[in-house]
Structure 1
Amino acid sequence: MTLISQLQNNKADLQQTRIHTRELPALKEGEALLRISRLALTTNNITYAAFGETPHLRYWDFYPTGDSEWFHMPAWGFAEVVESTAEGLAKGERFYGFWPIASHVVMQPVRVSERGFYDGAAHRLELTSAYNQYQRTSTDAAYRAADENYQMLLRPLFITSFMLADFLEDNDFFGARQVVISSASSKTAYGTAFCLQDNPRVALVGLTSAGNTGFVEQLGCYQSALDYGQLESLDPSRPTLYVDFSGNRELRARIHRHFAGTLVHDCYAGSAQSHEHIGGADLQLPGPQPQPYFAPYQIKKRNADWGAAEVTRKFNEAQLAFIRRVGDAQKPWMRVDQHVGLQAAQRLAEALIAGDIDPLAGNAVVLD
């Protein structure tokens, strides 16, 4: 009998966590047991936790705990097959994908192919398919064993960054000449800036806390870096697009007031600072109302425009360039910190939820 240990969060208070251990029954026909090897924990995971019940996201539903008060905060990383009764999966095979923060997971692999498989568990069938796909490392053109930490830390963020940059370019920046990006020190934010830095149409302005302005300036992918208190120093007559990674309502209101008449679009891309949803309090804002951005929608569009193989090729090329830049030994954008075991993951998750974030750190949880 295999014991499975899981890190769970309280739905009513994300800061409250527990490690829950139970026995797993024997595998049924068509199931596979995977041991989770390493996971990335970033502010992206906090977004998953904060918006777990949002209808089109439903992050809490991917790995039900069986307890209505507790949920799994999912994370991207790698796992290996321990045992399988499903055709096409061999013991020891390694997969990249969307896992619970746990020691093991049982899945029902379907649509098994050279590329990988989908989890066919009944409760996942109506969830976003992009999160149900598991990639064999042996057939992943972008996989590098030495880059596992970078891949799991950056790939799920960078797909958002890459497709967000493509979405903005695809819409000609809604007529903007300036893109203001909040939480500019976050990896998803500067990944977006990395993708847009060579576009001459717009200037990129990074907004961040006073303590992070130096970090944002040295990245070099923003034309300027301002702390939040300097927002009003920007030219209010310049057509501006706001990309909101902070989720801060007060900041959003200041943006709308300062660029009254010139704010062309408010793109709500994530929530590094706030666990609140966009709601009725935003409806009184002058100018365009915040529009949530969801990467799978742009992926679906580009799959139709370019074909899935070309989307993958473009993304892999950009991702490898981003990893090379982020991991540059002479001037790194990220320092990888490893945390060993579920208890270390628990402490890290609580710190991230509390907002204790070092912009230079990339946190890898090692479980094997």
Structure 2
Amino acid sequence: MQDFTTVTRLITRKNALDQSRIAQERRSLVPAAGEVILKIDRCALTTNNITYAAYGNSMNYWGFFPAGEEGWGHIPAWGFADVIASTVTGIEVGERFYGYFPLASHLWMRPERVTERGFYDGAAHRLGLTSAYNQYTRCGWDTYYRPETENLQILLKPLFLTSSMLADFLQDNRFFEATRLVFSSASSKTAYGTAVCLENYPQLERVALTSAGNKAFVENLGCYERVVSYAELATLAGDRPTLYVDFSGDLDLRDRVHRHFAGQLVYSCFAGSAQSTDEARLTAIEGPQPVFFFAPIQIRKRNAEWGPEGVSQHIGEGLLRFVRQVTAREKPLLEVIESRGYEAAQSVISRLFHGQVPPVEGHVIRL
């Protein structure tokens, strides 16, 4: 193997997410003691990545892969990578891993807690960060891994993990006594993934709030009992206990929802920011104050109660069902668009930032 390589990475201006540039440097491919080098093969880009960047400071998402330049950062993305060099017992050259990566050609890592399942990156700068994002899964161990559906896995697994854990959180709390759930940005994959996870609760009415342009798409999903546009919010009767699941992050919309349902609004769950790149604000003009849902907290709870294997089984089996639902139709609900290179990634990120990617599209970048 050659001793040096050119490392390519896409770095983004932290205060202007549609501005990025390609940076290159030469680095040795000889790993230090306790180090592995992974060659990143492919990553998914969704609105979720824009959320990571938008909350990069408040939730320290920029901290996972420091860019080394003031004001610039790596937008994290979920993907697959192959080990090309290793000095770590239990991690072999050629093994493939799923996990959290920068948009870059290579990543140097310091594995700890190495098991059959995979490892955690013990790099010093990641020690204080959320451990769920530091875990890398060995594809050879994962019984739910399918080589032929890698693109679907990296597009849907991170989003469905949130969907599955959010649905579990709501069930765990008996839906806060609500009989109606209202989802904003209902066309987002995380929103309708949550709705799908709650399909066996006939006492619940799942209501989709979406843009007029996405209304037909959302109606075709088949996982909501009712679909209304944002302009039609007032047509929803305030006649039952209602829980708002906010995937939009739109503060004006949140206030409209809170005002409309008034005393019938029993809980306001802030779950995402598909329509806003502003820092998260847990405020509302009236009614219950929004509560931020963070999937790793529910995972930690279930790890203690079910064990990690139980949690993996719960998410893995649910994901397989969700993938079948998304792809089994004559006209699939997700069109995978695979592109190659950093220029393609720049274009997709800009379109995502400006809300120009239709909900049916799922973008994968080969690096």
Aligned letter for 2:7? Answer: I
Matched, 1:222 2:228: no
Select which of 251, 267, 282 maps to 1:265.
267
SS at match of 2:228: strand
Which residue does the alignment assign to 1:346? 346
Alignment of structure 1 residues 52-131 onto 2, 5 Å: 52-54=56-58, 57-131=59-133
- Asked if 1:30 corresponds to 2:34, the answer is yes
Percentage of matched positions with identical amino acids: 53
Question: Secondary structure of 1:19's partner?
Answer: strand
Q: Which residue of 2 is the match for residue 5 of structure 1?
A: 8
The structural deviation recorded for 1:14 is 1.2
State how far apart, in whole Å, the 1-side matches of 2:214 and 2:141 are: 39
Per-residue Cα deviation, 1:73-118 (whole angstroms, up to 9, x for no partner): 0000100011112222111110000000111111111111111111
Q: Which residue matches 1:157?
A: 159
The CA distance in 1 between the partners of 2:44 and 2:66, in whole Å, is: 20
Amino acid in the other structure paired with 2:163 = S
Pair 1:210 & 2:212 matched: yes
Quote the Cα distance in structure 1 between the aligned partners of 2:181 and 2:329. 29
For 1:319, the equivalent position in structure 2 comes to 319
Say if 1:64 and 1:71, in contact at 8 Å, map to a contact too: yes
> Is the aligned partner of 1:18 residue 2:18?
no
Q: CA deviation at 1:279?
A: 3.2
Distance in 1 (CA, whole Å) between partners of 2:329 and 2:178 is: 35
The residue type paired with residue 24 of structure 1 is R
- Say which of 183, 198, 201 aligns to 2:200: 198
Q: What residue identity is the alignment partner of 1:129?
A: S
Supply the RMSD in Å over aligned alpha carbons: 1.1
Name the aligned partner's letter for residue 16 of structure 1. Answer: Q
What is the CA-CA distance between 1:291 and the residue it aligns to?
0.6
What is the CA distance between 1:120 and its match in structure 2?
Answer: 0.7
1:363 is aligned to 363
Stretch moving more, 4-13 or 149-158: 4-13
Paired residue for 2:250?
Answer: 248
Asked whether the equivalents of residues 55 and 280 of structure 2 are also in contact (C-alpha less than 8 Å), the reply is no
1:170 maps to what in 2?
Answer: 172
**1:329 Cα shift?**
4.6
Per the alignment, residue 333 of structure 1 pairs with 333
Show the counterpart of 1:287: 287
| Counterpart Cα distance in 2 of 1:366 and 1:119 | 23
**2:279 aligned residue:** 277
User: 2:101 is matched by which residue type in structure 1?
Assistant: W
Code of the aligned partner of 1:74: P
In 1, the alpha carbon distance for the partners of 2:94 and 2:339 equals 23
AA partner of residue 158 (structure 1): F
1:188 pairs with 2:190? yes
CA 1:341–1:296: 2 relative to 1, 3 Å: same
Distance 1:349 1:278, change over 3 A: closer
Q: Distance in 1 between matches of 2:160 and 2:262?
A: 31
Task: Please give the TM-score of this superposition, normalised by the length of structure 1.
Answer: 0.96
Equivalent residues of 1:268, 1:292 under 8 A apart: yes
- Cα distance between partner residues in 2 of 1:104 and 1:232: 51
Quick one: distance in 2 between partners of 1:92 and 1:134?
Answer: 15
SS in 1 for 2:70: coil
For 1:45, the equivalent position in structure 2 comes to: 49
Q: Secondary structure at the residue paired with 2:193?
A: helix
Counterparts of 2:223 and 2:206, CA distance in 1: 8
Q: Is the 1:17–1:350 Cα contact (8 Å) retained in structure 2?
A: no
Distance 1:240 1:277 in 2: 26
Residue segments in structure 2 that go unaligned for 5+ positions in a row: none
Shift of 1:137: 0.5
Report the Cα offset of residue 17 of structure 1: 0.7
Q: Deviations over 1:202-241 (max 9, x none)?
A: 1000111101100000110000111100011001122110
Distance (whole Å) between structure 1 residues aligned to residue 314 and residue 62 of structure 2? 31
Unpaired segments ≥5 residues, structure 1: none
**1:296 is aligned to 2:296:** yes
Tell me the SS of whatever aligns to 1:114. coil
CA contact (8 A) 2:184 2:245 kept: yes
Moved more, 64-73 or 23-32: 23-32
Q: CA deviation at 1:24?
A: 1.6
Task: Provide, for residues 189-214 of structure 1, a one-character-per-residue CA deviation record: whole Å limited to 9, x for no partner.
Answer: 01001101221121000111101100
- Partners of 1:215 and 1:227 lie apart in 2 by 12
One-letter amino acid of the structure 1 residue matched with residue 32 of structure 2: K
* Structure 1 residue 359: Cα displacement: 0.6
AA aligned to 2:125 is H
Residues 172-200 of structure 1: per-residue CA shift (max 9 Å, x gap) = 11111100000000100010011012211
